[in-house]
Amino acid sequence: MSQELHDVIIIGGGPAGLTAGLYTSRAKLSTLLVERMIMGGQVMTTTKVENYPGFPGGVDGPDLMMRFQEHCQEFGLQIDYGEVENLIDRGDEKIVVVDGKELRARCVIITTGAEPRKLGVDGEQEFTGRGVSYCATCDGAFFRDVPVAIIGGGDTAAEEALFLTRFASKVYIIHRRDQLRATKILQERIFAHEKIEVIWNTEIDRVVGDSSGMQSVELKDRVSGETRPLELQGLFVAIGVTPKAHFLAEVLELDDDGHILTDPECRTSMDGVFAAGDVRKKILKQIATAVGDGAVAAIMAEKYLMDRE
């Protein structure tokens, strides 16, 4: 990676980062976007996006993100890969430490997004990759004609349950309350699907298996307190996400859940550093709101740089 002074470094290549990159590179600011692994963020694990405007009938998540990336590169956005480890404030210059190397920028936009939350029960870690998964889109096809379960009651759980019906013989949704949090249209599809059964007011106590992989889970009814085993070959955990900002805990203000705190214009507690998308504390986490955030952060970054000229 070069040691030039970039106008902007964007950390993270999901919808918020790519939108910020589109705006700043189109504004002729020299912009480097650093991504840890795969461009596109969480949308890459979504089979069909139905609520992003402009795509009647829905659009495949990876296809949408490929379009975002191509669009940015039309305006000269530079993309590089590496793990950002730290951010150092040197006033008008910020240092972004990537895999031990120091990159320089006049301002920084953080769009690192979020990652799936873990259940934290016995057996979860042991059987991850051998029955336990955090991504139905990625792993669903390995579970043909066997019973599987999703834990969670949000949009992700609902969408993944519907996706898994393509492969599994039976899909249980295990939810800790007596109503789902998922949007109405997804709920209607779930209740109408013959392969899906919702197990209400229930949590998972542990994941059980042997050397061949997971075999069952131990369920606990939260109302009666009774426990019972449920035979399963796969367990998909969809209980929400945690923001990827822990590496910034020493330098930026975060909330108790680890989100970066910003003002409505995406400014963080460090002058010249902005945050956009799921990593920042906000009400609604959608592709559309990540895009909105990315645009706001980019415009605010541009204004910050202009004020210094």
Residue 300 contacts ligand NAP per CB under 6 A: no
Residue 152 contacts ligand NAP per CB under 6 A: yes
Could you please report the per-residue DSSP string of 107-162?
Answer: EEEE---EEEPP---BTTTTTBTTTEES-HHHHGGG-TTSEEEEE--SHHHHHHHH
* 5-11 and 213-221 beta bridge pairing: unpaired
Asked if 139 is an active-site residue, the reply is yes
Residue 155 contacts ligand NAP per CB under 6 A: yes
**Using DSSP, how many helices (H) and how many strands (E) does the chain show?**
6, 17
Q: Which residue of the set 138, 257, 263, 271 is catalytic?
A: 138
Asked if 72 is an active-site residue, the reply is no
Residues with Cβ < 8 Å from 261, sequence gap 6 or more? 252, 253, 254, 255, 268, 269, 280, 281
Among residue numbers 210 through 229, which ones bind ligand NAP (CB under 6 A)?
none
Name which of 62 and 154 has its Cβ closer to ligand NAP: 154
**Cβ-count burial of 144 within 10 angstroms (0-12 exposed, 13-18 middle, 19+ buried)?**
exposed
Query: Between the CA atoms of 249, 89, 284 and 21, what dihedral angle is there, to the nearest 10 degrees?
Result: -130
Among residue numbers 76 through 115, which ones bind ligand NAP (CB under 6 A)?
none
Residue 151 contacts ligand NAP per CB under 6 A: yes
Please state, in angstroms and rounded to a whole number, the distance separating the CA atoms of residues 295 and 183: 26
Residues with Cβ < 8 Å from 233, sequence gap 6 or more? 131, 143, 146, 147, 148, 213, 214, 215
Q: Which residue of the set 7, 139, 155, 278 is catalytic?
A: 139
Q: How far is the CB of 266 from ligand NAP (least distance, A)?
A: 18
Name which of 250 and 256 has its Cβ closer to ligand NAP: 256
In the list 240, 247, 258, 269, the residue contacting ligand NAP (rule: CB under 6 A) is 240
Residue 154 contacts ligand NAP per CB under 6 A: yes
Q: Which residue of the set 89, 135, 205, 221 is catalytic?
A: 135
Report the residue closest to ligand NAP, judged by CB.
Answer: 154
**Cβ-count burial of 211 within 10 angstroms (0-12 exposed, 13-18 middle, 19+ buried)?**
exposed
Residue 159 contacts ligand NAP per CB under 6 A: yes
In the list 22, 98, 136, 239, the residue contacting ligand NAP (rule: CB under 6 A) is 239
Q: How many residues bind ligand NAP (CB under 6 A)?
A: 20
Asked if 135 is an active-site residue, the reply is yes
Q: How far is the CB of 190 from ligand NAP (least distance, A)?
A: 13
In the list 104, 176, 189, 206, the residue contacting ligand NAP (rule: CB under 6 A) is 176
Please state, in angstroms and rounded to a whole number, the distance separating the CA atoms of residues 112 and 9: 12
Could you list the active site residues?
135, 138-139
Interface positions with ligand NAP (CB under 6 A): 51, 119, 151-157, 159, 176-177, 181, 203, 238-241, 285-286
